Amino acid sequence: MDLVNIFIRSAFVDNMIFAFFFGMCSYLAVSKTVKTAFGLGMAVIFVLVVTIPINFLIENYVLQEGALSWLGEEFSSVNLSYLTFIMFIAVIASTVQLVEMIVEKISPALYGALGIFLPLIAVNCAILGGALFMQEKQFATITQATVYGLGSGVGWFIAVVLIAAIRERIRYANIPGSLRGVGMAFLITGLMGLAFLGFMGFEI
């Protein structure tokens, strides 16, 4: 039940796009067609599910105050938390590289679908933001952290596919010239965000 709750919260209530604006740059850039939005959305879910558990382990066994005590008594007072950013981004960048290579070897079809998006994801704020929120929420177990990663990814995926579908529909609408393109995308996202506010306080 707890896991379901974490999933629902991260996917709908604290939706990455509508509540925190994570990954807005790529969200606006790829949301012109549903097909590319679908590809990038899948890649984000994939990378979040892979990197959040890794970052969880690093946070709990390397970075936190006293996390190094498994090395011996004398390390129990070491606090490396100021290295968080550089460790997380290094993990993300290298995992993305690794994942890209593995996917290319194992499943060329999946690589064809995700390929061009994977390198971009290293600099997507959704991934680093997910890791930093994971750190802030202090999950007890690695399962909870993984479910959080999955939920956030699904939330991002839903948001990007929804707006891509809307933008495809309004392509031939007669929008005032000065709102065309980015302006309209912002307005639509704002309205979608208002709708998603309805999930506020939602719990199972």
> What residue ranges bind another protein (CB under 8 A)?
18-25, 28-29, 82-86, 88-90, 93-94, 119, 122-125, 127-129, 132-133, 136, 171, 176-184, 186-187, 189-191, 193-194, 197
Count of CA atoms in the C-beta half-sphere (13 A) of 200? 8
Nearer to another protein, 25 or 54 (CB): 25
User: Could you tell me the smallest distance in angstroms from the CB atom of residue 83 to another protein?
Assistant: 8
User: Could you tell me the smallest distance in angstroms from the CB atom of residue 104 to another protein?
Assistant: 15
User: Could you tell me the smallest distance in angstroms from the CB atom of residue 10 to another protein?
Assistant: 14
Nearer to another protein, 21 or 111 (CB): 21
Distances, alpha carbon 97 to alpha carbons 77, 92, 118, in Å:
34, 9, 8
Nearer to another protein, 4 or 102 (CB): 102
Nearer to another protein, 4 or 35 (CB): 35
- Give the contacts of 71 (CB within 8 A, at least 6 positions apart): none
